[in-house]
Chains A and B, each alone.
Chain A
């Protein structure tokens, strides 16, 4: 497992995989393949993919510890940045294709639809995380502070869920929301459990890694 993850092609392969949803949406937009309401389709899909990437990136540490696959940590930064990439496309699709970049309309829409404000807050909070994802930022901040800052992602995940929940609330249609909520609850619950275990044992339970470690064989 670790060996496969350390393969020099692993990162480029994951990178391309992460881009596939975007490529597929882009192709659909060019070829009129996004159904009857392409704007809505694009906005919803990019929102879905943002939430999925949040789940994926939150799964990295639990998987790394449980499967003892330390090499997984190499992918965390890239996965997190893809979550940011999809939320940017999501926000741009909304502002452009739904609102035509009419700022007054957007402001009115946000006042009407608080769930948009929640989603926008999640985007704003995610921005400093994306901005401090390079090695020099980690050094400048210091590992501790960097780690504290990046704990924001738990709150961001909750805001993202609330955004999705609220959007679906009008139709009492929560099946999908509950799936994401369940996944995120498990991933965050594991952290609480792991923290408690660490305390109980008083010893050194595996700690989260501050930043993607330099893999010894990759250089």
Chain B
């Protein structure tokens, strides 16, 4: 609320301000009338979006279409973040720490040729060329909420397939309990690799059951096109129920390990960024509240109110059971 009023709506200096009984008793008719008539027009576009499935391509990069995903939770109906905002407000520290840096500096990133090395506790380790990875499974469009640990959020139509498809192909050994992701760290093309902000290469990790969850997306595109460099081209992870930094970008190595791997932000500040880093409005960051978030480009501009953050970023129904019995305050 911008302007507070102590008026609870029940005090009326003039009786003329009170809604006549007949009018408010007719409010259900009004709703019925709206649902049938006025709202019909609005509903039509909502329904049309469902039929289209794919987000309209912005026409900037090579198209990469994905079929509508049947994975539960993969089709939020919220308003998509503008492509321009999603590609100009990024955290990708290899290209600078300011949110506007990646879009300015990531042009140097070479995404072809690109290989992803799968190693560690798997029966079929190997190097996968990006072209082979693209074809490894059918591309799907997944519309996910993205919640950054800093307190802002977006809604992005990603294109990719469940990471589990790749994991099944490489056949992890029985003692593989975690999956580690390593981002490219090339000081020649990434100006901030070598800065002391983080340990390079950027490392992230998931527990095996998290990595196998169908919502965990091996991502190649967004908005019906291949990923822009600043968003983690040519291949990244997207884990929608965790804070954004868990979703490693521009991945060159996927390693299967037995022990919980060290992760970049955990190494930088263990008391602030845990291994799990599930979106949780009830567990604050030591330096700020996580109860609310600012949805980027939600139309309200400067005056937009912050929205309430949801448990597991709204994916509790899908992923809550992964953490049954765990103390989420301790395992933040």
Contact = CB atoms under 8 A, between A and B. Distances in A.
Interface of A: 29, 32, 34-40, 42, 96-98, 100-102, 108-109, 112-113, 115, 170-173
B131 interface: no
Given A32-B301, A35-B100, A109-B289, 12 more contacts: A35-B88, A96-B2, A97-B303, A100-B1, A101-B2, A112-B286, A112-B287, A113-B288, A170-B272, A171-B97, A172-B196, A172-B268
7 tightest Cβ-Cβ pairs between the two chains A and B: A36-B89, A36-B85, A173-B97, A38-B302, A172-B197, A36-B296, A113-B287
Which bucket holds chain B's interface residue count? 20 to 34
B301 A37 contact: no
Contacts, number: 62
Nearest to A166: B287
Nearest to B287: A113
B4 A36 contact: no
Interface string B70-84: 000000000000001
Nearest to B269: A170
B198 interface: yes
Contacts of B88: 35-36
B301 A38 contact: yes
B199 to A, nearest CB: 11
Contacts of B114: none
Q: Tell which of B1, B88, B198, B289 has the most Cβ of chain A within 10 Å.
A: B289
B213 interface: no
19 contacts: A29-B301, A34-B302, A35-B100, A36-B99, A36-B296, A37-B89, A37-B152, A38-B302, A40-B152, A96-B2, A100-B306, A108-B289, A109-B288, A113-B288, A115-B287, A170-B272, A171-B97, A171-B197, A173-B97
B305 interface: yes
Contacts of A108: 289
B284 interface: yes
